[in-house]
Amino acid sequence: MNLNNSFTITNISTTTLENPKFVQPLRINYTQNGSKKTWEAVKSHDSVSILLYHTSKKAFLVVKQFRPPVYIHHNEYPFTYELCAGIIDKNLPLPQIVKEEIDEECGYTVKLENISKINSFITNVGVSGSKQYLYFANIDESMKTHAGGGINDEQIELEFIPIKESKKFIYDETKAKSPGLISAFYWFYENHLK
């Protein structure tokens, strides 16, 4: 199926997960208030995500990509809108991982001292319980070094959401958005638009 000009997806199928690289499905057995219980979960990496604000365009830079789990549950969403993000799978300080993700996915070089932490929160509480660390950085075209789009066959598109259209974007139910993106936009409204 051709989802739009740049997303052509074919041969979708599901199989049992064997020898996973990034997640580990598991069953958790526990006793709560004397009652034996079980829960199915997925152990996965924690992650970083970054709200990028382009100062001259007066717009947020977000990434757009095909997410198979979203599509198999809600095929009206051919792709999701998300913050620039990545898993924490390297033994590096988090700001360094943030800097690398901004470069890999978006093509901007941001100095470490210009990256600031906003918050952290738990994602997918019923499935993985992973922690996500939310960061912020301003960008402009003087920092652009390449087209971005990810590495290792990632297929990431970049899209600017003008600040004046961003609240409408948040409430547009025809677009799949990550909760971190919505939270980050509101953080920006509270801290930068007063």
Whole-number average pLDDT of the chain? 92
Question: Within 13 Å, how many C-alpha atoms sit on residue 60's CB side?
Answer: 27
> With bands split at pLDDT 50, 70 and 90, how would you rate the model's confidence at 112?
very high
pLDDT tops 50 at residue 180: yes
Please choose, from the candidates 115, 111, 142, 146, the residue with its C-alpha nearest in 3D space to the C-alpha of residue 48: 115
pLDDT tops 90 at residue 12: no
Q: What's residue 124's pLDDT? A: 86
pLDDT one-digit tens code per residue, 124-136: 898 889 999 999 9
Q: What are the structure tokens assigned to 94, written together?
A: 């988090």
Are the CB atoms for 51 and 30 separated by under 8 Å? no
Q: What's residue 7's pLDDT? A: 65
Q: Which of 7-21, 59-73, 161-175 has the highest mean pLDDT?
A: 161-175
Average pLDDT over residues 96-103: 98
Q: What are the structure tokens assigned to 70, written together?
A: 């979203």
Q: What is the pTM of this model?
A: 0.90
* Better-scored residue on pLDDT, 117 or 125: 117
Domains of the chain: 47-192 (3.90.79.10)
Average pLDDT over residues 85-100: 97
% of the chain residues with pLDDT over 90: 70
